[in-house]
Structure 1
Amino acid sequence: MKWVPVFGLLGLILSGQARAADDTPAAFGAREYIQQISLSPDGQKVAMVVPAAGRGVRLEIVDTAASGPPKAILASNGSPERLTGCRWSTNTRLVCQIYVVVRDAQNRLGFTRLIAINSDGGDLKVLSAQTNDRSLRMSQNGGVVIDWATDDAPGGILITRDYVPERSTGTHLANEDDGLGVDRIDTTTLARRSVEKPNLNAIEYIGDGRGTVRVMGVRPTRSSGYASDKILYFYRQPERRDWSPLGQLTLSGSGYSGFNPHAVDPELNVVYGFDAKDGRQALYKITLDETLNRELVLARPDVDVAGLVRIGRQNRVVGVSYVTDKRETEFFDPELRKLGLALGKALPGRLVTFVDASADESKLLLFAGGDSDPGLYYLYDKATRNLRELIAARPQLETFKLATVKPVTYPGADGTQIPGYLTLPPGGDGKNLPAIVMPHGGPGARDEWGFDWLAQFFAHQGYAVLQPNYRGSSGYGADWFQKNGFQSWRTAIGDVNDGGRWLVQQGIAAPGKLAIVGWSYGGYAALQSAVLDPDLFKAIVAIAPVTDLETLRAESLNFTNYLQVSEFIGKGPHVVEGSPAQNAARIKAPVLLFHGDLDANVGIGESRLMERKLRDAGRKAELVEFKGLDHQLDDSAARTEMLTKADAFLKASLGL
């Protein structure tokens, strides 16, 4: 493969916004420079969503054949609207999603809208269907693009549409349709036509990549107005309009059961999806005809098979990935399998991801990164075999020596080997260090090998960091997930605490220098760890944590998924016993809390409750609130403040 030097973007970035972030918390707290990226159909231009001042973002266009700076064509300030992603509908037109969280008297509500804009910044238009003063309800869902390529004309896409009925009094023009349908829309002229009439209970449509809807998911509503725990899937055969049953997905507190469809391959006339095999998730394909022939594509005896690998404008399925110690990909496409192996040799020590492709797939947009490498984006030309560096994901960290991440296992209290990842400060022997256990969020998630800005920051500051995939994590099958990290909290938190004890036993953690830091469920685990063992950790940092399970249940009361959330939390003694706020008196270590006041995942009231309960119990606690931010705290200044305060708090609490 030939290498072409970076075309100047990195120097431009480092001389501007990123160069100003010259202290360590600001460098690590800076948002990833590439929030989202896509390649034009002809492979000549790249569109990038990048951070702007404060919590804002910009849409920038880069000509891959030129050496000039990127051109900014659109910006949002993040207060409250946020540009979340853009993709090309033609060589000169982009479709972008805008996301906003608003707060009413009781709830925090998320809204999305789709817009289209020319690559020169002109002709901005709203694609999402609009409501009016006759509409009987608001529409939070501005639509999702399900097909980027249609056979009838360039620039046409398929998007879901939330049809909202209108009051008919005094008019004959009122819309009476209600539910989710699909429209075909021209992204330039806005000419649109319905291709799927709205279904009141539809929640999902899957296209074939060519402009035809082939699968529909329907979730019935109970008489109470809450959603059912079952999703019914239907399919249609080629050249037919009638729907036939495909299968049923049942949701429960421990996950789902049944076939979960994800993508249609029109050439094979199959739908790919995931279902259980021997207690773990596996990939299957089902023929979309009257036979419904079902075939196992890939299963693993050790971990779940998880993510489909798709490429190009038709979102063609080319492989599937899973995570053992590191993420691995099984390619179905022979050419990409060969290319993946070659790229792995050309970019040793890094994982290569196919991000996007030109319409003919002759040019590929790639990302390669590793544990101590935040990663680079590349453009690969199949014809010339040129691999061109485009831009670094985190140019702010160019001058920092970053830590390596090692997969480890340690014994739980019952002897079960708990997998995790250990990050040690660069240099040194990895012994007698201040140490942090950092449980992941979810709890239906897992950590994996790669770059983690939070763990890397603390490693740079001299801490050993252990990220455990405790029981209750996803990715290891149903037995490992158990009843989930709330109902099975004693096992999950026990595994987290055993990770701390292991750090001490191995001589990695210095005596009395052990802390715990977590975000979301990880914040819950950080707090609950001290309920289970008050003397283990000497300092607790909890970011956007769940603190009271009954409060978490109540936060969903006005939403259609309330029954599923309630079942996930469960009923019984564990609701009180597993709520840190209800057991604050048991917590001895000082606590530092961070929370955004527009968090739609976990309400800020949970952190306020936790701080109050700790103070009432005579404990040391501080809550830092970030105004106008949601669960991700997607603001470089806020993250910088968080890292600065957390580092100072840990050093003071651990006597460093």
Structure 2
Amino acid sequence: MKSIVASVVCLGVAVFAAFPTVQAQTLADYAATPLDSHPRLSPNGRWMATHCRQQSRIAACVYDLQANALLHIIPAPEDTSLDAAYFASDDYLLLSFSSYNTLTTSGGLRQYLVSRSLSLNVESGEVVLLAPNLRSSTNTTNIVSLAITDPESVMMEMNYYRDGRSQAGTRFGTGSGFDSNLYRVNLETGGARRIDRNDIMGRVVSATGDIVAETHFDERSNLLEIREPGRDGAVIYSRQHLSDAPSILGFVGETDFLAMFPSEQGGYRQIDRTTGDISMPDEHDLDIVDRPIWDHERHLLGFIGEREGLRAQYFYDQQLQADASALEAALGAPVIIESFSADRNMLLLTLSEPGRPQTYYLYERSAGNVAAVAAGYPNLASQDLPERRFYTYQASDGLEIEGVLTTPVGWTEAAGPLPLILLPHGGPASRDDLDFDWWAQAYASQGYMVLQPNFRGSVGYGVAFQRAGFGEFGDRMIEDSLDGARALQAASLARPGQFCVAGASYGGYAALRTAIMAPEEVGCVVAVAPVTDPVSLLAEARQSGGGVFAYDFWEQYIGDLVFDREEAARISIFRNADALVAPVLLMHGDEDSVVPIEASNALRRNMSSEQAFEFIVLEGETHFLELSASRQTLLNRSLALFDEVLRAD
């Protein structure tokens, strides 16, 4: 059995070594997928589940904390990836896996992401597929209630969007709209029994499995309503929405829902379940809120987000807030409570430090002890790593942009300017922060300066900043990255002359688009799973189950290019392939369901033999670089290109 406790200390001892010092870091240490991540405790505090690594692939591991041993390893089935692992009760662990499948529809062969839920009996080790009688659906992972009064079952909701065509996972329909089914699923046998069916958008289900509200949407008027359950349920909330539609996430006390309003500052609001009145949650001291923290009955305990660029929490629950404060004082760094037992005696936590990979600790309140139980990157845990800090600059139109600057260990401005790599994030509705970043820090470990610009359109800087990116998918959002590179060169932090640009997904598009917009400044491009034709996102949104919501989201960022062929061609990558004069390294996973590999194949076909171009297919890889072999290939090949272009002298 694998020992999982590395050291134990009494609360109050501020300094201790969780893991021994190891050999000097290598690129393989950065390329490795985390040894353990996403840890979760069972309600009784005895079991811990993590995403772990079995050889090169991600699996689920279950540890017996009492016996200090690894109990189960559940590998992802062939050609699938692990999406989530969490406890439904003390006896059952829920697992969700996804794979990229080609399915037959009335419109021909189409590729879908197929997601499935499984249940592990922790004591026996038996694993069953949940809802096997619903194989026609592409997704059986929407668990809406753990049904805590019946610990051997959960509630699963199946929501379909009908657009008048026969699709995998839907029944044939002649009109558009929603169809929703609610099932009670047995965790021991996997059997699913339908208990409700309705032409609604979805339901709000309590922790005990009771339907407490329904969401309705009228496509003709874009009217979204939250109603009490039943045919004549009273209207709680009513307003026109598209991609800004609110979603109910859980409960605040006994009288309110917690909802996310995407277009509102801060996002989260409370809705009174009786009057429909909307209010702000109680005050907190977080700079950015990412997601709520729930108890085991889906009641709000606080929020997790960022404070000064680092992961941080704020608890309304006084006991957990006191625990976090005491542990921070004892361990000498901000503490993130990742999971906790139902009685709050066992807390699973990590430290929040800039640029440091996560090590996980178990705090037992009754004993006053803290034990290190797992680490994401143990070979880097005791190493000096490249430094990450914020760097603020002005865009060419005067807008203030914040980026994350990563520099080699020990580098100071007195050492002189460094060769620069721009690394724009994906999304584009995302952002970079000061947390550990294997990609950026791997580049910096080899002597490069890396700038990750949070260009306009990024989240976390307010609604106005995000909306400033609308319609700027291939323009101002790209200029913001270029302005960051120019600012670093003007400040003599980055070397003058050419720099290289790398990115994945939208970041891959941004890298390629940057090279087209500034051919004299960009020395090389690394694009992983890039969008190469933005109008295809709109077309896919029209065809997908997201319907009007997905289309509205992309239309905001891109603009409606479906009927504007000239504009669509202008910001397309593959239609402007001849403008790519810098060397291009293109990589794409052959199991990518987010940006299909055809996006890269289209660009490859339009590149001429005179252009410096290399295309690498990452076998078995998804959109998210889940394989350490893929990461290693990316680092090796891109650094070789950077060295050739930026260090030729």
Equivalence map 1:147-546=2 (5 Å): 147-151=145-149, 153-161=150-158, 179-188=179-188, 190=190, 193-195=193-195, 197-202=196-201, 204-220=202-218, 231-236=224-229, 243-248=233-238, 256=244, 259-265=246-252, 267-275=253-261, 280-289=265-274, 291-297=275-281, 305-311=289-295, 313-323=296-306, 325-326=308-309, 327-350=311-334, 352-398=335-381, 400-430=383-413, 431-482=416-467, 484=469, 487-546=472-531
Following superposition, the deviation at residue 541 of structure 1 comes to 0.8
Partners of 2:312 and 2:49 lie apart in 1 by 28
Moved more, 213-222 or 383-392: 213-222
Q: Which residue of 2 aligns with 1:582?
A: 575
**Do the aligned residues in 2 keep the contact of 1:112 with 1:141 (CA within 8 Å)?**
yes
Change (3 A) 1:517 1:84: same
Is the CA contact 1:377–1:390 (under 8 Å) kept in the aligned structure 2?
yes
Residues 11-22 of structure 1 mapped to structure 2, 5 A cutoff: none
Shift of 1:330: 3.1
- Aligned twin of 2:590: 597
Letter in 2 for 1:287: D
Q: How many residues align?
A: 607
RMSD: 3.3
Structure 2: distance between partners of 1:401 and 1:328: 23
Q: Does 1:96 align with 2:82?
A: no
1:433-458 deviation line (CA, Å, top 9, x unaligned): 11111111011111122111111101
Structure 1 residues 231 and 111, CA gap change in structure 2 (3 angstroms): farther
- Number of the residue aligned with 2:53: 51
> Take 2:465 and 2:493, find their aligned partners in 1: how far apart are those partners?
27
Moved more, 422-431 or 446-455: 422-431
Unaligned runs of 5+ in 1: 8-12, 133-137, 166-173, 223-227
Partner residue, 1:72: 72
The TM-score, its normalising length taken from structure 2, stands at: 0.85
The letter for the 1-side match of 2:381 is E
Give the distance between the partners of 2:588 and 2:239, measured in 1 at CA.
Answer: 34
1:553–1:628 distance in 2 versus 1, CA, 3 Å: farther
Is the counterpart of residue 87 in structure 1 residue 76 in structure 2?
no
For 2:250, the aligned partner's letter is: A
**1:24-43 residue CA offsets vs partner (Å, 9 max, x unmatched):** 23211111122432212211
2:283 and 2:399 mapped to 1: Cα distance? Answer: 23
8 A contact 1:309–1:319 mirrored in 2: yes
1:248 CA displacement: 4.8
Q: Specify whether residues 323 and 398 from structure 1 end up closer, same or farther in structure 2 by C-alpha distance, changes over 3 A only.
A: closer
Q: Is the 8 A contact 1:179 1:200 kept in 2?
A: yes
Question: 1:545 & 1:384 partners in 2: Cα distance?
Answer: 51
| Amino acid aligned to 2:351 | A
Whole-angstrom distance in 1 between the partners of 2:250 and 2:390: 32
Distance 1:249 1:445 in 2: 27
Name the CA shift for 1:235/1:380 in 2 (closer, same or farther; >3 Å). farther
Alignment match, 2:61? 60
8 Å CA contact retained: 1:39, 1:45:
yes
Structure 1 residue 567, shift from structure 2 partner: 2.8
* Cα distance, 1:374 vs structure 2: 0.2
CA distance in 2, matches of 1:650, 1:249: 52
Q: Which amino acid aligns with 1:45?
A: W
2: distance between equivalents of 1:348 and 1:190?
46
Contact 2:303–2:315 (Cα < 8 Å) also in 1: yes
Matched residues in 2 for 1:631 and 1:310: separation? 29
Query: CA 1:32 to 1:186, structure 2 compared with 1: closer, same or farther past 3 Å?
Result: same
Please tell me whether residue 112 in structure 1 is matched to residue 115 in structure 2: yes
| Cα distance in structure 1, aligned partners of 2:484 and 2:333 | 27
| Paired residue secondary structure (1:503) | helix
Other-structure match for 1:36: 38
Amino acid corresponding to residue 620 of structure 2 in structure 1: G
Counterpart of 2:607?
Answer: 614
**In 2, distance between residues paired with 1:249 and 1:115?**
37
State which of 127, 143, 146 in structure 2 corresponds to 1:145. Answer: 143
User: Unaligned 5+ residue runs, structure 2?
Assistant: 9-17, 163-170
SS of the aligned residue for 1:511 comes to: coil
Check whether the contact 2:512–2:573 (CA below 8 A) recurs between aligned residues: yes
1:653 aligns with 2:645: yes
In structure 1, give the amino acid aligned to 2:258. Answer: Y
Q: CA deviation at 1:484?
A: 4.0
Distance 1:583 1:623 in 2: 17
Find the aligned partners of 1:412 and 1:249 in 2 and give their Cα distance. Answer: 36
Helix, strand or coil: the match of 1:509? coil
User: Is the Cα–Cα contact under 8 Å of residues 283 and 299 in structure 1 kept in the other structure?
Assistant: no
Question: Structure 1, residues 323-380: CA drift from partner, whole Å, max 9, x if none?
Answer: 4632443322122222222233333344x33222222232222232422310111222
Once residues 392 and 289 of structure 2 are traced to their aligned partners in structure 1, the CA distance between those partners, rounded to angstroms, is 21
2:509/2:527 contact within 8 Å kept = yes
1:489 CA drift (Å): 3.1
- CA change 1:323–1:369 in 2 (3 A) is closer
Which region of structure 1 is more displaced relative to structure 2, 508-517 or 240-249? 240-249
Per-residue CA distance 1:549-578 (angstroms, 9 max, x = gap): 223333445323354436343224542222
| Residues 609 and 428 of structure 1, relative CA distance in 2, 3 Å threshold | same
Cα deviation, 1:210-246, whole Å, max 9, x if unaligned, reads: 3323233344567xxxxx966443345xxx9963323
Change (3 A) 1:604 1:484: farther
Task: Name the CA distance, whole Å, in 2 between partners of 1:251 and 1:651.
Answer: 50
Structure 1 residue aligned with 2:636: 644
Contact 2:119 2:128 (C-alpha < 8 Å) held by counterparts: yes
Tell me the percent identity.
26
Equivalent pair of 1:141/1:162 in contact (CA under 8 Å): no
Q: Is the 8 A contact 2:469 2:476 kept in 1?
A: no
The secondary structure found in structure 1 opposite 2:603 is helix
Contact 1:403/1:460 (CA < 8 Å) preserved in 2? yes
SS in 2 for 1:512: coil
- Per the TM alignment, residue 251 of structure 1 is displaced from its structure 2 partner at its CA by 5.3
TM-score normalized by structure 1?
0.84
> Quick one: distance in 2 between partners of 1:478 and 1:14?
42
Give the match's secondary structure for 1:525: helix
